[in-house]
């Protein structure tokens, strides 16, 4: 009976990667710690003993070594290359992934700084627009005051003209009244003179008749 069991954790030393193809000073590869090793072995329940102990395989366990080789061959056929012999490819993949993360972070930071700078430019422009609006409000208020003052002057002129017309009309009314009074007095004087003349003429005629 064949089982795939995880062995104990083994501590591997740090891997110093010197990749001459990238020459990227920003890359930093961290050491690989506590990786699990997969081995193909018999289950401990088959013979009553544990096979997950360090050391060489026992004779009965060595018979299962072809199964391990079959698994390795299957992995090679699946990936298209020998996984265990292509550590350089793994290192390059780690380096490229780290490089991609760094470039992505740089792009995000660059875009963020550009956005913040663009927003700052818009804020400055908005402040300038606010100042221009304040200037326009001051000019509009000044013009409004001038228009109100002009309207007040026009109203005052109209009131003065109305008062002048009223005064002129009142003067004319008084003069007309005075003229009417004078004409009445003159008519009365004419009537009185006519009466006096008629009396005098009658008296003269009477006196002449008496003579």
In tens, the pLDDT along 198-209 reads 666 656 665 565
Domain residue ranges in the chain: 3-85
Closest CA to 2 of 43, 32, 34, 55: 43
User: Looking at the predicted structure, is the pLDDT value of residue 188 above 50?
Assistant: yes
Instruction: Indicate the pTM of the whole model.
Output: 0.30
pLDDT of 53-71, one tens digit each?
A: 444 444 444 455 555 556 5
Closest CA to 27 of 96, 87, 77: 96
Closest CA to 82 of 92, 72, 96, 97: 72
Q: How far apart are CA 36 and CA 73, in angstroms?
A: 20
Mean pLDDT value across the chain = 66
User: Looking at the predicted structure, is the pLDDT value of residue 34 above 80?
Assistant: no
More confident residue, 13 or 169: 169
More confident residue, 21 or 109: 109
More confident residue, 116 or 183: 183
Q: What is the predicted pLDDT for the residue at 80? A: 58
Q: What is the predicted pLDDT for the residue at 202? A: 59
Q: How far apart are CA 52 and CA 31, in angstroms?
A: 26
Percent with pLDDT over 70 in the chain: 49
pLDDT of 102-113, one tens digit each?
A: 777 777 777 777
Q: What is the predicted pLDDT for the residue at 136? A: 92
pLDDT of 86-127, one tens digit each?
A: 666 666 677 777 777 777 777 777 777 777 777 778 888 888
> In which band, very low, low, confident or very high, does the pLDDT at 194 lie, cut at 50, 70 and 90?
confident
More confident residue, 23 or 203: 203
Cα-Cα-Cα-Cα dihedral sign, residues 58, 61, 65, 68:
negative
Q: How far apart are CA 179 and CA 173, in angstroms?
A: 10
């Amino acid at each position: 009976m064949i089982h795939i069991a995880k062995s104990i954790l083994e501590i591997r030393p740090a891997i110093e990667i010197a990749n001459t193809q990238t020459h990227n000073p920003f890359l930093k590869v961290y050491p690989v710690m506590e990786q699990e090793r997969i081995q193909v072995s018999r289950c401990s329940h088959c013979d009553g003993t544990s096979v997950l102990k360090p050391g060489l395989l026992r004779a009965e366990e060595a018979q299962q070594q072809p199964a391990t080789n079959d698994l390795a061959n299957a992995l090679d056929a699946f990936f298209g290359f020998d996984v265990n012999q292509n550590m350089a490819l793994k290192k390059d993949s780690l380096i490229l992934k780290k490089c991609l993360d760094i470039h992505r972070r740089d792009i995000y930071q660059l875009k963020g700084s550009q956005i913040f700078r663009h927003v700052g430019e818009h804020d400055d422009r908005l402040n300038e627009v606010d100042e221009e609006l304040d200037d326009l409000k001051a000019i509009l208020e000044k013009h409004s005051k001038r228009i109100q003052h002009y309207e007040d002057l026009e109203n005052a002129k109209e009131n003065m003209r109305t008062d002048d017309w009223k005064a002129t009309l009142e003067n004319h009314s008084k003069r007309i009244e005075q003229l009417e009074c004078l004409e009445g007095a003159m008519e009365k004087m004419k009537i009185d003179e006519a009466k006096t003349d008629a009396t005098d003429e009658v008296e003269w005629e009477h006196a002449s008749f008496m003579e």
